Amino acid sequence: MILYLLGGIISFFVSFFWKSFIVEFLISHNIKAVNYNKKEIPAGIGILLLLSGVVSSSFILFITDQPMMYYVYLFGLSLVGFVGILDDLVGEDKIKGLKGHLSKMYQGELTSGGLKAIIGGLAALYVSFSFSMSLIDLLLNTLIILFFINSMNLFDVRPGRAIKIFLLTSMLIWIFSKAPDRFLTLLLTGGILTIIKGDLKEEYILGDVGANILGYTLGFTSAISFNMMNKVIIIALLMILHIIAEITSISLIINRNPVLKYIDGIGRLKE
């Protein structure tokens, strides 16, 4: 845990130093999006998480005696981060949900969401090869990473929601797993601490790049931390979440539950 804690501290300082530069970059290049309150604000602050995640994990890579896992993690992080940036720049707002993008692909039209699904799938499959113990384990690891990536995109529709889900899920992984690498999520937590306030106050949007990175890190950490039975349970829960998202609105469900609504609203501007 000490190693990951040091990585988290490095992530915090990298994010703290580069935050103003990234925000200014987004503004000067007019990289903006309209949020749920119809406010046009800078989109893609998640680039900061990509930067801090790469630096902090590279730090561990150079001092650990088992660097291969961090090479693999960095490879997947870079791929999903790249496709997330692409989606933030050219994403189609009129096409909603994974089902919509897959339908377009079936019709012979490649969308940014479809490209994200392809690259995300290949990245999940590739990184899973490095630690999977069997063909079934490979399938489970690939699915768990893919489902987590898309799940964070489902949650990233309200200020601070995706970050809160990441932090809560990280704590659940720390509690229910005994694997030493379950603390890998700390590598992003440091960077998150510098942007969560601005995200909640609608100063900028996390963006697909941020949601992808958060989801990928949760999926990767779960894949290396849990046994096959636990992975099956996690995948089943994530599948249920996706089915619910196709049938109704996750925001609607949250707003109808007093406890979830309260947690979701902590730190957010009054509607």
Residue 236 in domain: yes
Amino acid 271: pLDDT: 59
pLDDT digits (tens, 9 = 90+) for 58-85: 888 888 877 888 899 999 999 999 999 9
3-state secondary structure at position 125:
helix
Q: Residue 67, Cβ neighbours under 10 Å: how many? A: 14
Residue 103 in domain: yes
Phi, psi dihedrals of residue 34, rounded to the nearest 5°: -95, 120
The tokens for 1 are 């845990």
Amino acid 120: pLDDT: 85
Q: How far apart are CA 230 and CA 86, in angstroms?
A: 33
For residues 219 and 147, the answer to whether their CB atoms sit within 8 Å is yes
> 36-50, 219-233, 240-254: which has the highest mean pLDDT?
219-233
DSSP 205: B
Categorize the per-residue pLDDT at 87 as very low, low, confident or very high, splitting at 50, 70 and 90: confident
Residue 238 in domain: yes
3-state secondary structure at position 43:
strand
Amino acid 110: pLDDT: 67
Residue 271 in domain: no
Residue 251 in domain: yes
Q: How far apart are CA 152 and CA 185, in angstroms?
A: 14
The tokens for 40 are 């046009």
Residue 135 in domain: yes
H or E stretch covering 90: helix 68-90
Q: What is the mean pLDDT of residues 7-35?
A: 93
Residue 11 lies in domain: 2-265
Mean predicted lDDT score pLDDT of the chain = 90
- Domains held by the chain: number: 1
For residues 42 and 34, the answer to whether their CB atoms sit within 8 Å is no
The owner of tokens 């996690």 is 234
Amino acid 67: pLDDT: 83
Q: Above 80 in pLDDT, residue 194? A: yes
Q: Above 70 in pLDDT, residue 97? A: no
Residue 156 in domain: yes
Q: Above 60 in pLDDT, residue 101? A: no
Residue 56 in domain: yes
Q: Who has greater pLDDT, 114 or 218? A: 218
